[in-house]
Amino acid sequence: MHHVLKRKAIFGGLPTTSFKSTTTRNTLISILVSYRRQHFSEMASRTYNDAIDTLNTLQTPFAVIEARRKAGIRPDANSVQEMRGYLARIGYSTSSDLEKLNIVHVAGTKGKGSTCAFVDSILSKWHQTKGIPKKVGLFTSPHLIAVRERIRINSRPISEEMFARYFFEVWDRLEDNSTVATDLVEPGTKPIYARYLTLMSYHVYLSEGVDVAIYETGIGGEYDATNVVERPVASGISTLGIDHVYVLGDTVDKIAWHKAGILKKGSPGFTIEQVGSAAEVLKKRAEEKGVDLKVLEVDQRLQGVRVRPDANFQKKNATLAIALAETALKKLDPDFKPDAAALPSEFVDGIEQVVWRGRCEVKEEDNIIWHVDGAHTVDSLKMAARWFVEETKTEGKGPKVLIFNQQGRNEAVDFLDGLCNTVKNADSTGQGFQHVIFCTNVTYATTGYKRDFVNHQYNPADIEKMTQQRIFAEKWASLDTSAKILVISSIEEAINTARGLANSEGEDGSKVQALITGSLHLVGGALGILEKADAL
């Protein structure tokens, strides 16, 4: 009996009120039980690798995702309620404890990660010169190379040792207090993968004395795990667009409703210029919540500041970050007084020196220049294409190569039009990518996924057969009949194929111009291979 109960404790919580029938719920639990019984084993040691292997058992497997989709089940208010229950089980309150973190909360479709990085960089520069705040936390998703990148202190990923220690502390508390807060969450359960990391981040930051923490939402806002915070220092909403349509809806106004869920009465709210329907929804939701939502134009104090890339969308992200950082510092530093005429040097340095990997990066090898951007929506891919075009204007006339993937999203095939046409239309002869490579997110050709990249949420049969990649290839062939298209099974092989093209086609001294885009999972795996890095 004890063994059965302990096994039950590892099953990620399934919402108790979201299911249309007991039969549906029992079917999903049966799938989860079978899956985790197969994948979970007791750990003799408690290393970082052990933590990641255990974390991976909390992923929702593809069969469950499909069953939920067919049953019409989406995240709802129970998601946040369950997070409150899990917080109680590890000894924290959503009000008195989380308020100590002075959370800056950011949602959006495009630019929310960059906005968070700007805020983190600005506050870190302020810390370096003023000693305030003492420690800055940054929680983002997904990770590029190592899971521990999601939880940063003073702009650095926490160490493997720290990650393992706090991971298992949370695990043990959930086990020991499995019957606490059963009115909020089922006894003997654990949160699923992303929620567990969110829960763990609160424990890390509170234990380590972090006094301001920037939180990027995962998906949406209203029902996102990070929305358990009741009184953030400030909330910001970056540019909105179409993404995660199954969960959030298929129109920008439906998506705006979810994103506006992070706005809280008594906390300042900020956004930047949005498309008409989204702007109206944000305004209405803010009024309903009693929030004075400020819509920001590009900050004039950014004139002369080197924002990278030098594009309006990034200046909007920086503008939002400035407002959020100023609001945080008004609370944290009694001597801080915003200057309407000029930015403090710490703000300028924070913006100009920000490091946010996997976005608009350029890396050069002997015969090839890599352009790496984790764009993954129709609009952001067009922006990535325009950035690539601008970069390659001054880099010679070498052949252009695309490496692309986006796994598990059927709508992604429609993202290719803008990417293809933007590059073709910018060329005086109408030449697009000469070589186009579609690969899976499998990291290595022989050993498969890096431990931190294991993902059970996609159909393994589709990955093995490269089903999605073949759909992409067929679509691209209809867009550009002159392109040489390849479908390849791993990121490593895709990169080596591009390097081979550089050796065979770059003999005239011109360098191959390669763009890697479509997914942060792809970009993370690529950067890990290109840099031989364990974390970024």
What value does the mean pLDDT of the chain take?
90
**Confidence at residue 30, expressed as pLDDT on a 0 to 100 scale:** 54
User: Model confidence at 32, in pLDDT bands (50, 70, 90)?
Assistant: low
From CA 47, how far away is CA 161, in angstroms rounded?
Answer: 7
From CA 301, how far away is CA 343, in angstroms rounded?
Answer: 6
**pLDDT of residue 263 exceeding 60:** yes
**Confidence at residue 121, expressed as pLDDT on a 0 to 100 scale:** 98
Residue among 472, 11, 420, 387 at smallest CA distance from 196: 11
**Confidence at residue 5, expressed as pLDDT on a 0 to 100 scale:** 32
Query: Is residue 530 within 8 Å of 403, Cβ to Cβ?
Result: no
**Confidence at residue 410, expressed as pLDDT on a 0 to 100 scale:** 77
Residue among 198, 215, 211 at smallest CA distance from 104: 215
**pLDDT of residue 17 exceeding 70:** no
From CA 20, how far away is CA 18, in angstroms rounded?
Answer: 7
**Confidence at residue 407, expressed as pLDDT on a 0 to 100 scale:** 87
User: Model confidence at 231, in pLDDT bands (50, 70, 90)?
Assistant: very high
Q: What is the pLDDT of residues 137-188, one digit of tens each?
A: 999 999 999 999 999 999 999 999 999 999 999 999 999 999 999 999 999 9
Q: What is the pLDDT of residues 441-484, one digit of tens each?
A: 999 998 888 889 888 888 889 999 999 999 999 999 999 999 99
From CA 502, how far away is CA 400, in angstroms rounded?
Answer: 10
**pLDDT of residue 247 exceeding 80:** no
Helix (H, G, I), strand (E, B) or coil at 327: helix
**pLDDT of residue 41 exceeding 60:** no
**Confidence at residue 6, expressed as pLDDT on a 0 to 100 scale:** 35
Amino acid identity, position 1: M
